[in-house]
């Protein structure tokens, strides 16, 4: 992205051109002065001849030049022929000024609009100056105003809208931005705010103002966006409608380098391609597949706007997931349908299942329909369909949020059929599924967002469901449908249930995020007209925001590259101290008290100023410190820890107090204490037996380790440590490749084994040797098997041996370290 220079000159890329233009202007001014001097000394009859013939020199072009000036309240003279050189650049050498200047005409000045016949303004007597803070030609082609020059004063009156949620010049990464602001905190009033979008690329949208508070959704174009907000207060019939305006600049940078969240609608092979709706809705907006696509798309952009704002409130900037977009007929505004406007918007994939409508509706979750025989199979059906449709390759992961179109409210049985609310997935596809039973209440366009979240129409259970008895009205049904599907999408991104927020059904008040007043609620029986401030809104839990911060779908172009290695190692050392190491850095630790399923205590290690680069690679934990965080009432309860790394690694300690037990410590032959790392592999293969090797070079000065011989095939069979005197120590078996592969150490430079990079899952797939000189062997065994783990002792310790288990091949591996 090329930076913009908001000064009186042109951007740096045009400096040479600007300098040349300035020379041309100086030469023009010099010629004009010489012409004026000679005109003053010429004979009188020549002066009279020039005055009589001057009108004949005027052409349409010269008239246009004089009428394209700027009147921004700064009393600057209009810019006309002084920019003739730049005009020739942009217009092929003609005298017509750039088309960009046409937008500077003011409707309040007829002379500027060329509507005053032959009456034109007198020519300037000197070269006009550029208005302060205005760039004539921006590097990126960005006009300094939304159809008007830049204003020196952003707020034209005390009643001009003040935007509080985003600052001027901010960078955002989603197409639909949620903003919040106030009019005049000292004088509560109602009215409406109209958002005028950049260069009229999106129709103006109007949003209610309640007690001087307003919230709005703003459509952005890639690049710089100059937005104008007009506030119209209530007025008497005799008073003119005078808007109070403010301007803000927002830069929109789409995230095209991070994996997208795919949106899909699943339809049965014999589907009528309709969804449940009351007759009035069917008559006014329809209930076909086209309507479903518009409503699902709009709800997804609401997820995005909500999440981007929440991430910003948590101090992580306006990072958010993105959608796969395509060039298509626009539907984010209802006026796009009237004008047949094409836009780049989220793609909704239509996936046809190999099941019939009846087969889908017979598959329900137990909590929705007790007599169901096949519980939860809808998730498997959706997973199979998505894998077949997207066909992810090995190592590539797809993130898909789906909606079953053929969900149906069965009023006789009192249940929603063909619906499941689930999120999860495997290494190939991360999936969230939901039904369409609340789809009729969703907004289809931006203009319908506030009406949808304030519609008090009672739910007619003859036609549609009252989901969990929390959808008694249309706006509450929109909360449940949009919010619960976002909840399942949170599971897709790895979020568990939390003690508060979206992941604990906080979405029943999702409406407060997009409106300033809440209507009557059938769920709580609370009266309407409640003012909804940011503190009253639904939110993502802090732990959800931490997960999003390091998720691949939320990566920014400015984020440093994070290695694929995601392992976390725990080492119980002396005096009840535990060391935790992670190559990518430790982000946070969740603490679970015995009996708690939800995390209520956690420790963050991320430095907000330096980002992931500030995450420590080694930390020290003590039981005393952990007990102090969970409270005196939990001092005797068992503590479980979940440790998370910057590389999205996760490690669980089931009982922290047992971490440094007898099984984790042993005495070495020289009397020192050996400490065992956490073990990789499950050690559950048939015939698996424990095994360990204490390296003789660590306790015998006469032993020099010169090589490591690795036996492997499609998995790791064994390691043989070779000494200078020809003796060896074998860990595992001599299987796989005949003779194995040998990795030599440079003993002349005192090279030693620093650690191992291990590919492991259920068993040990492969291994790489790391040395003290920074060298790495190749990865022996299955290079793509399992997941990667870095086994390197913490600072102050070295490798004393290895331990694990062996069956047909190695199915367990860990280090024994010592000081």
Q: Model confidence over 184-232: pLDDT tens digits?
A: 877 788 999 999 998 899 999 999 999 999 999 999 999 999 999 999 8
Q: List phi, psi (to 5°) of 36.
A: -65, -40
pLDDT, averaged across the chain: 81
The pLDDT, as a whole number, for residue 77 is: 33
Residues 6+ apart with CB under 8 A from 343: 327, 328, 329, 330, 332, 336
Instruction: Supply the pLDDT for residue 567.
Output: 81
Q: Which residues pair with 814 in a beta bridge?
A: 803
pLDDT digits (tens, 9 = 90+) for 386-437: 999 999 988 789 999 999 999 999 988 889 999 999 999 998 999 999 999 9
Indicate whether 74 pLDDT > 90.
no
Q: What is the mean pLDDT of residues 39-53?
A: 46
What pLDDT is attached to residue 129? 46
Predicted confidence at residue 238, as pLDDT, reads 65
Give residue 558's pLDDT band: very low, low, confident or very high (50, 70, 90).
Answer: confident
Specify the pLDDT at position 107.
Answer: 38
| Interval 479-521: pLDDT, tens | 999 999 999 999 999 999 999 999 999 999 999 999 999 999 9
pLDDT at 609: 56
Q: Tell me: pLDDT of 122 over 50.
A: no
Per DSSP bridges, beta strands 568-572 and 577-582 are antiparallel
Longest dimension (CA), the chain: 120
Q: Please measure the distance between the N-terminal and C-terminal CA atoms of the chain and give it in whole angstroms.
A: 51
Q: Alpha-carbon distance 705 to 273, whole Å?
A: 71
As a whole number, mean pLDDT of residues 581-608 equals: 90
pLDDT at 611: 60
pLDDT (average), residues 344-356: 96
Quote the pLDDT of residue 282. Answer: 96
Residue 731 contacts by C-beta under 8 Å, 6 or more apart in sequence?
Answer: 691, 692, 693, 718, 719, 720, 721, 802, 804, 806
Task: Say how far apart CA 392 and CA 390 lie, in whole Å.
Answer: 6
Distance in angstroms (rounded) separating the CA atoms of residues 457 and 520: 10
Q: Burial of 642 by CB count in 10 Å (0-12 exposed, 13-18 middle, 19+ buried)?
A: middle
> Domains in the chain and their CATH numbers?
1-152 (no CATH), 162-252 (2.60.40.10), 261-549 (no CATH), 564-658 (2.60.40), 668-818 (2.100.10.30)
CB contact set of 629 (below 8 Å; sequence gap of 6+): 591, 601, 603
Please indicate whether residue 745 or residue 147 has the higher confidence score (pLDDT): 745
Number of alpha carbons in the 13 Å side-chain half-sphere of residue 141: 7
Residue 334 confidence class, pLDDT cut points 50, 70, 90: very high
Candidates 69, 482, 25, 435; CA nearest to 266 is: 435
Q: 308 or 698, which is more confident?
A: 308
User: Which residue numbers are catalytic?
Assistant: 488
354 burial level (CB within 10 Å; 0-12, 13-18, 19+) = exposed
Instruction: Read off the DSSP letter of residue 567.
Output: -
pLDDT at 376: 65
Comparing 408-417, 524-533, 807-816, the range with the smallest average pLDDT is 524-533
Range in 231-240, 449-458, 672-681 with the lowest mean pLDDT: 231-240
Would you state the pLDDT for residue 661? 65
Task: Give pLDDT, residue 777.
Answer: 94
Query: Which residues is 590 bridged to in the sheet?
Result: 602, 642
The more confident residue out of 61 and 407 is 407
Residue 31 has pLDDT above 60, yes or no: no
Percent of the chain with pLDDT over 90: 56
pLDDT at 533 over 70: yes
Which of 656, 577, 669 has its CA nearest to residue 618? 577
Assign 156 a pLDDT band (cuts: 50, 70, 90).
Answer: low
pLDDT for 284 beyond 60? yes
Percent of the chain with pLDDT strictly greater than 70: 77
Residue 675 is predicted with a pLDDT of: 87
Using the structure block, give the residue that is written with the tokens 């395509």: 326
The pLDDT value given to residue 375: 52
Confidence band of 59 (pLDDT split at 50, 70, 90):
very low
Helix (H, G, I), strand (E, B) or coil at 423: strand
Checking if the pLDDT of 294 tops 90, the result is yes
131 φ, ψ (degrees, to nearest 5): -60, 145
Checking phi first, is residue 556 left (phi over 0); if not, alpha (psi -120 to 50) or beta?
A: beta
The pLDDT score that the predictor gives to residue 168 is 94
Residue 236: pLDDT over 70? no
572 vs 575: CA distance, rounded Å: 9
pTM, entire model: 0.77
Nearest to 421 by CA among 432, 429, 431, 413: 432
Contact 349, 236 (CB under 8 A): no
pLDDT band at 807 (very low <50, low <70, confident <90, very high): very high
- Rounded mean pLDDT, 758-771: 93
Nearest CA to 228 among 279, 163, 310, 309? 163
């Amino acid at each position: 992205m090329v930076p913009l220079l908001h000064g009186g000159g042109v951007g740096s890329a045009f400096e040479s051109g600007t300098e040349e233009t300035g020379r041309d202007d100086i030469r023009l001014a010099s010629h004009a002065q010489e012409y004026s001097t000679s005109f003053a000394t010429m004979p009188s009859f020549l002066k009279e001849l020039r005055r009589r013939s001057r009108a004949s020199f005027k052409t349409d072009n010269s008239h246009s030049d004089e009428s394209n000036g700027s009147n921004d309240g700064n009393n600057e003279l209009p810019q006309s022929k002084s920019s003739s050189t730049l005009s020739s650049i942009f217009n092929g050498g003609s005298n017509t000024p750039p088309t960009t200047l046409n937008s500077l005409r003011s409707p309040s000045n007829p002379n500027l609009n060329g509507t005053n016949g032959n009456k034109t303004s007198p020519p300037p007597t000197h070269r006009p100056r550029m208005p302060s803070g205005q760039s004539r030609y921006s590097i990126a082609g960005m006009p300094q105003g939304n159809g008007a020059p830049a204003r020196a004063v952003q707020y034209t009156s005390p009643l001009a809208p003040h935007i509080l949620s985003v600052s001027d010049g901010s960078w955002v990464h989603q197409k639909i931005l949620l903003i919040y602001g106030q009019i005049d905190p000292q004088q509560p009033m109602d009215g409406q705010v109209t958002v005028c979008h950049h260069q009229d690329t999106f129709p103006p949208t109007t949003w209610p103002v309640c007690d001087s508070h307003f919230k709005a959704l703003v459509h952005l174009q890639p690049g710089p966006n100059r937005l104008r907000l007009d506030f119209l207060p209530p007025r008497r019939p005799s008073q003119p409608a005078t808007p109070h305006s403010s301007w803000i600049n927002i830069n929109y940078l789409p995230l095209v380098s991070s994996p997208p969240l795919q949106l899909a609608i699943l339809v049965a092979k014999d589907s009528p391609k309709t969804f449940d709706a009351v007759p009035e809705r069917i008559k006014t907006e329809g209930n076909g597949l086209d309507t479903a696509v518009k409503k699902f798309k709009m709800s997804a952009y609401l997820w995005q706007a909500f999440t981007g704002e929440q991430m910003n409130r948590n101090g992580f900037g306006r990072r958010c997931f993105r959608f796969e977009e395509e060039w298509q007929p626009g539907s984010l505004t209802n006026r796009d349908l009237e004008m047949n406007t094409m836009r780049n918007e989220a793609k909704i994939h239509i996936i046809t299942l190999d099941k019939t409508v009846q087969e889908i509706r017979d598959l329900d979750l137990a909590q929705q329909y007790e007599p169901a025989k096949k519980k939860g199979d809808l998730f498997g059906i959706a997973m199979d369909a998505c894998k077949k449709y997207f066909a992810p390759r090995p190592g590539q992961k797809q993130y898909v949020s789906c909606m079953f179109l053929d969900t149906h409210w069965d009023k006789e049985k009192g249940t929603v059929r063909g619906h499941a609310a689930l999120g999860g997935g495997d290494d190939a596809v991360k999936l969230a599924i939901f039904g369409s039973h609340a789809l009729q209440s969703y907004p289809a366009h931006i203009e319908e967002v506030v009406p949808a979240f304030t519609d008090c129409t009672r739910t007619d259970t003859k036609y549609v469901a009252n989901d969990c008895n929390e959808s008694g009205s249309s706006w509450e049904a929109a909360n449940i449908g949009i919010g619960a599907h976002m909840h399942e999408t949170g599971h897709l991104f790895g979020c568990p249930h939390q003690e508060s927020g979206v992941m604990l059904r906080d979405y029943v008040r999702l409406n407060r995020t997009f409106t300033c007043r809440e209507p009557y609620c059938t769920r709580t029986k609370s009266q309407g007209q409640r003012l909804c401030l940011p503190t009253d809104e639904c939110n993502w839990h802090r732990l959800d925001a931490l997960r999003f911060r390091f998720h691949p779908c939320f990566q920014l172009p400015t984020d440093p590259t994070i290695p694929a290695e995601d392992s976390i190692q725990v080492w119980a050392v002396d005096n009840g101290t535990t060391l935790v190491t992670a190559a990518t850095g430790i982000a946070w630790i969740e603490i679970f008290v015995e009996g708690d399923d939800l995390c209520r205590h956690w420790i963050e290690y991320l430095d907000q100023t330096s980002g992931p680069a500030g995450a420590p690679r080694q930390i020290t934990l003590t039981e005393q410190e952990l007990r102090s965080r969970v409270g005196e009432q939990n001092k005797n309860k068992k503590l479980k820890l979940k440790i998370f790394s910057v590389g999205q690694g996760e490690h669980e300690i089931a009982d922290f107090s047992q971490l440094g037990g007898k099984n984790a410590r042993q005495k070495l032959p020289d009397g020192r204490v050996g400490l065992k790392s956490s073990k990789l592999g499950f050690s559950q293969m048939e015939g698996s037996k424990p095994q360990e090797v204490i390296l003789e070079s660590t306790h015998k000065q006469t032993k020099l380790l010169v090589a490591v011989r690795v036996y492997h095939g499609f998995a790791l069979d064994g390691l043989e440590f070779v000494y200078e005197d020809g003796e060896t120590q074998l860990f595992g078996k001599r299987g796989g490749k005949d003779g194995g592969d040998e990795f030599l150490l440079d003993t002349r430079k005192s090279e030693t084994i620093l650690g191992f990079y291990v590919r492991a899952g259920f068993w040990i797939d492969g291994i790489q040797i790391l040395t003290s000189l920074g060298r790495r062997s190749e990865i022996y065994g299955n290079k793509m098997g399992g997941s990667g783990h870095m086994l390197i002792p913490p600072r102050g310790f070295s490798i004393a041996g290895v331990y694990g288990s062996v069956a047909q091949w190695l199915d367990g591996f860990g280090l024994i370290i010592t000081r």
